[in-house]
Amino acid sequence: MVKIVSNLLMISLISACSVALHAQSSMVFESGGELTPELSSFNVHYYDLNLKVNPADSTVGGSVDVYFHVVQPTNQIELALDPGLTIHDITRTVHPDYQEASTEAEVFEALSFQRSDTTHKFRVDFKQTLQPGNREVIRINYSGTPRVAPRPPWNGGMVWSRTPSGDPWVGVAAQTTGSWVWWPNKDHPSDRADSVAVNITMPEDLVVASNGRLRGSSMEEEGWKTWNWFVSTPISNYNITLNAAPYETITDRYTSTAGDEMEIIFWILPEYMEQGQELFPQFAEQLRHMEEIVGPYPFRADKYGVAHSPYLGMEHQSIIAYGADFSNDNLFGQSIGFDDLHHHEIAHEWFGNLVTVYDWRDFWIHEGFGTYMQALYAEHLGGMESYRLLIDHFRQRISQNATVEVAPRKTMSSLDITQGNRGGDIYFKGAMFLHTLRYLIGDEHFLLALRRFAYPDPEMEMVTDGSHMRFATTDDFLNLTEQITGMNLDWVFEVYLRQPALPKLHLNRMDGLMTLQWEVPEEVSFPMPIQIRIDREVVTFSPNSEGRIALEISEEVDVEIDPDGWVLMEVRGEW
């Protein structure tokens, strides 16, 4: 009998493990996607995170208060949390201070909720229909072992590492997966909380750095210290982060182009203090150039922070993660003379954090703009030679024979938009599109378009309360550039961003006649002008209504098409 029971127990354990493994393997680690009625019925205004993070057993636990108002009548809302983390209870609460919790909330009623082992989404049920305009607060108590990032930052989750001295070194990289991998929230990019409190308790010998500004710290439990951070402006969920290690700091005061004074802070491992001090001046230099090009640093009400991270990097709002090797040219491997990893992440403070896409289908606005800004900085430091060196690198990294467009019109999740050959193109084809657009509309119009895309009204450049932050789409940028230039630009956006194939320029030269013919998708005009160097003179030619340029040039004359490489295209034909 004992043997039979043991065998049955073993079979049960194997079955349970099999079910758990199957559930894990069927999990989809993504964020956003279709905006369901249960998601669109409410808007979050404030998150209050009170979490204990234990590096000894890689666990996270505590409570998250979600402050929201009701948009559509509903008795059910949808939130997200990794099913591997246990929700202990959810309670509906009332609080005298809706925006910024400072005292213990009063429990109002327990709420039921529905979860699945195979999806991160869960639904919270209310006993009465919530009415439009209602202001609600719920508290979620949970705990468990969050997902470890398989390949941060590209495949995200928690990062549990060790410093060279063997101390804990903890980080988070959750953009591609969604922050639901470590705390419960509304998982959709269209809803940024107006403000967030990040209260993290960790072993007392660690320094915890997070978004926003530090409101204080305390030791309410022996051996543990709580760090209280507060984000005063809207923030995307994936930007909310924690960085923990026995950090030391390098600091300096910085005066923005808007006249505001703020602190630049670099949290760095003690073992790398010398390298950090050598790198630190680049932070202010790159910050200044970004401000001069696209407007004041958006989060000067809080700080500009950089946290030394155990992974390559991420654009966490007001505290970017930096995990490169403190040397120049480590992101692209080109001799452009600056720390391009840091510059890429700081560029996202404008394109990604100030200007944010509300659907992942427009994610090229984050990454294409963020990548192109490195080319502009290379030009600032080393002139057009450095600019073209980086642009040529971008050109080489565009997907060959692409089958998916950079900016689809249908809704996408964070996983959808990075699948196939679209993944790299949202960076490099997006950047190359901006390069070609610059050529087409001219530097003056182009630089104004960059600045007005970040700050549509010059008066907004003086704002720091969060009202300067906004959502944007590909069509917003199209309409802006058309307004600035007075040109019809729909065709160039359509060809480069809305379908996958590059325009083809067919060349033919014989018997003293040279012809150039554009080939683009059916029923799309493409009046792209082309520069041609004839002997030593560069002349710009515009195609006719059929996309054709014809020139009479003798065979002895030297000719070069697009000598400065401004137009993104495939060239076909022989000379």
Residue-wise pLDDT for 8-17, tens only, equals 333 333 333 3
pLDDT at 574: 65
Label residues 494-533 b or e (16+ Cβ within 10 Å = b): bbbbbbbebbebebebeeeebebbbebeeeebbebebbbe
pLDDT at residue number 27: 81
- Residue pair 39/105 in contact (Cβ under 8 Å)? The answer is no
Give the pLDDT score at 23.
43
Residue 475, token pair as written in the block: 């069509």
Report the share of the chain in percent with pLDDT over 70. 93
Residue 426 domain boundaries = 355-497
Q: Assign residue 313 a region: left if phi > 0, alpha if psi is -120 to 50, beta otherwise? A: left
Q: Return the pLDDT at 12.
A: 36
C-alpha span between 174 and 240 (Å, rounded): 9
Residue 289 lies in a domain: no
Tokens 């058309």: give the residue. 482
In terms of domains, do 486 and 531 share one?
no
pLDDT 10s digits, 407-421 = 999 999 999 998 888
Boundary-marking domain end, from 447, 476, 497: 497
3-state secondary structure of 130: strand
Q: What is the DSSP string of 446-457?
A: HHHHHHHHH-SS
Task: Give kind and range of the element (H or E) at residue 517.
Answer: strand 513-519
Report the Cα 68 to chain-centroid distance in Å: 24
Q: Is residue 7 part of a domain?
A: no
Residues 480, 485, 490, 491: is their CA dihedral positive or negative?
negative
| Cβ 376 vs Cβ 447: under 8 Å | no
Distance linking the first and last C-alpha atoms of the chain: 88
Residue at a domain's end among 497, 529, 564 = 497
Q: Per residue in 70-89, pLDDT tens?
A: 999 999 999 999 999 999 99
The total domain count for the chain is 2
Buried b (16+ CB within 10 A) or exposed e, 537-574: eeeeeebeeebebebeeeeeeebebbeebbbbbeeeee
d(CA 143, CA 82): 11
Half-sphere exposure in the Cβ direction for 550 (13 Å, CA): 8
Q: Cis peptide leading into 563, omega within 30 of 0?
A: no
Whether residues 492 and 515 share a domain: the answer is no
pLDDT of residue 95: 60
Residue whose entry in the numeric block shows the structure tokens 């984000």? 231
**Kind of pairing, strands 513-519 and 548-552?**
antiparallel
Give the CATH number for residue 562.
2.60.40
- Residue 120: inside a domain, yes or no? no
Q: Do 438 and 570 lie in a common domain?
A: no
Structure confidence at residue 523 (pLDDT): 78
**Does residue 194 lie within any of the structural domains?**
no
User: Which residues, in sequence order, are bridge partners of residue 64?
Assistant: 49, 140
**Minimal CA–CA distance to 481: which of 505, 448, 512, 457?**
448
Residues 481 and 513 in one domain: no
DSSP class of residue 502 equals: P
Q: Give the model's pLDDT for residue 332.
A: 95
In this structure, the answer to whether residues 481 and 428 fall within a common structural domain is yes
**Does residue 412 sit in the same domain as residue 429?**
yes
CB half-sphere exposure, 370, CA atoms < 13 A: 28
pLDDT, one tens digit per residue, over 266-292 is: 999 999 999 999 999 999 999 999 999
Q: What is the pLDDT of residue 416?
A: 93
* pLDDT value for 20: 40
3-state SS, residue 327: coil
Residues of the chain with pLDDT under 70: 1-26, 95-107, 574-575
Residues 383 and 440 in one domain: yes
Pairing of strands 537-541, 570-574: unpaired
Q: Are residues 366 and 493 in the same domain?
A: yes
Q: Within 10 A of 103 (CB to CB), how many other CB atoms are there?
A: 8
Please give the Cα distance from 32 to 358 (Å, whole number). 9
Question: Looking at the structure, do residues 361 and 448 belong to the same domain, yes or no?
Answer: yes
Q: Verify that 433 and 376 share a domain, yes or no.
A: yes
Q: Assign 273 to helix, strand or coil.
A: helix
